[in-house]
Structure 1
Amino acid sequence: MTASNKDSFLNTIASKLGRERRYDVQRPDMQDLIPHSYGSLTTDDLIEILKEQCLFIHTQVIESNPEILQRTLDDLIQANGGGMVITSGDARFGEYKLTFPDSFVWEEAAGREQNIIRSESANTAIIFADYALAESATIVVESRPDQGRSLHFLPAHYIAIIEKKRLVLRSTQAAAALNRRIEAGEPIGSSINFISGPSNSADIEMQLVVGVHGPLRATYVLI
């Protein structure tokens, strides 16, 4: 990815602000902005916070483990009414030996339009969360060639698998981890999505309706 017309754009901004263009802007040290610990909070504490917050965002939490994860997911798919499943191309599906007979995989080779069509036709989407924020029951997922944005929003049901090691308190910890990747020169996706359960809207007469703009149901599977 390259920036086009960068200098002319920044020069125009400086002109509109009525000042000279600045070239000495220093990036702040992220470590000065991010808490270094959770204090006395343990992983079990974070799990309890996550569970409590999920009650407020209409999201089910199921605890599982690697040995029964396949069965847990199969039961959820059936509870959702069966049908087609779409997964991301995350390598962790292979690591946990997860397979789904009636399924698509979001893959770069299929092309954007075909992946979107697959997402529209799927009843359930299953992904691995990159991070999970206990404080707001939010999952963090990166858009990548093997995991497009539509995967999270078009299927009727959404299952996010959360590994305990990916559970943090709040967004500052997730931002710190992403920043470390950037500093190390690793590529970052075109967008980072923060998803807190199914969509909620109370625009009409202040009546809360769940699932208007995305999945009708969201489930977090904690392993």
Structure 2
Amino acid sequence: MTQPADGRDAMLGDIRRALGREASAHTVDAGRRPRQADHDAIERRYRRQDDATREAITDRFRQRLEGLGVRVLEAAGEAEVRGIIDQRLKASAIGSVIVPPDLPGAWCPGDEGVSLITDDGHPAAAINDIDGVITGCRLAIAETGSIVLDAGPAQGRRLLTLMPDYHLCVIDAAQVVGLVPEAMTQLVETQRTCAPITFITGPSATADIELSRVAGVHGPRRLEVILLGG
């Protein structure tokens, strides 16, 4: 007599079916129809597309960022970006920044008082001694105020955005999507490598068991965004 599947077997059976593999006989509960039929019956009603205007989506993203403690600056065009970067680095007392090798020249600081370092495989200890990092992003999500990095153009290695204390991210308004499902669709369609995907939602912070909030544990304590063409 076939024994009913326990929770572990049921979960592994679901994973096999999701991967297109046949489940073993012991993963199907006795006297029940196959679990895949249960999944087919689920009606997914969550929103997959944001119908708001581009202006409304950008405004929502800006509000979410500010609510998370992120300073948002706006640039009408790339000609304004360098001036804003120089201003923010000076205001934040940043003496050195590291950038990905393919960061656009217009996004690099022009202040000679700031040491500009182009990443060429620097070890973690060296990056840890650098004050800040400047990158672009893959896309951003208005609903959650998240910035998504996938090691693509103008983003560099994941390590670059984990070690320095300050992160300045330049985001084109056209990269901002309304909802998480829209972001996931784009990532699935265009994923080029097996590099990790990083979702950044506000400056790094965590709380210990005594609920003491500590900043900078998993990444930069200070996050600023230049919204290009917003």
TM bracket (short chain): 0.7 to 0.9
AA aligned to 2:137 is A
Q: Tell me the TM-score normalised to structure 1 length.
A: 0.73
Number of matched pairs: 189
Q: How large is the RMSD of aligned CA atoms in angstroms?
A: 2.9
Q: For residues 227 and 207 of structure 2, what CA distance do their matches in structure 1 show?
A: 29
* Alignment partner, residue 199 of structure 2: 194
Structure 1's 84 and 46: CA in aligned 2 closer, same or farther, altered over 3 A? same
Cα 1:160/1:176, change in 2 over 3 Å: same
- CA 1:221/1:86 → structure 2, altered by over 3 Å: closer, same or farther? same
Instruction: Report what 1:156 is aligned to.
Output: 165
Q: Considering only CA atoms, is the larger Rg found in Structure 1 or Structure 2?
A: 2
Q: Is the 8 A contact 2:49 2:182 kept in 1?
A: no
Deviation at 1:210, TM superposition (A): 2.7
131, 142, 147: which is aligned to 2:139?
131
Equivalent position SS for 1:174: helix
Asked if the contact 2:49/2:179 (under 8 Å) is kept, the reply is no
1:23 paired residue number: none
Q: TM-score, normalised on structure 2? A: 0.71
What is residue 103 of structure 1 aligned with on the other side?
116
Distance in 2 (CA, whole Å) between partners of 1:119 and 1:59 is 23
Give the conservation status (yes or no) of the 8 Å contact 1:80–1:124: no
Offset of residue 93 of structure 1: 1.1
Percent identity over the alignment is 23
Q: CA deviation at 1:53?
A: 1.2
Give the C-alpha shift of residue 42 in structure 1: 1.4
- 1:153 Cα offset (Å): 1.1
2:92 is matched with 80
Task: Give the gaps of 5 or more residues in structure 1.
Answer: 1-9, 21-31
Deviation at 1:208, TM superposition (A): 2.8
Equivalent position of 2:62 in the other structure: 51
> 2:163 touches 2:220 (CA, 8 Å); kept in 1?
yes
- What are the superposed Cα offsets for residues 13-62 of structure 1, whole Å, 9 maximum, x if unpaired? 966x8359xxxxxxxxxxx99956422x1121112211221233211111
Question: What is the CA-CA distance between 1:88 and the residue it aligns to?
Answer: 1.6
Give the 3 Å change call, closer, same or farther, for CA 210–117 of structure 1 in structure 2: closer
1:38 matched to 2:47: no
CA contact (8 A) 1:125 1:157 kept: yes
Structure 1 residue ranges, 4+ long, deviating more than 4 angstroms after superposition: 32-36
Structure 2: which 5+ residue stretches go unaligned?
1-15, 17-21, 29-43
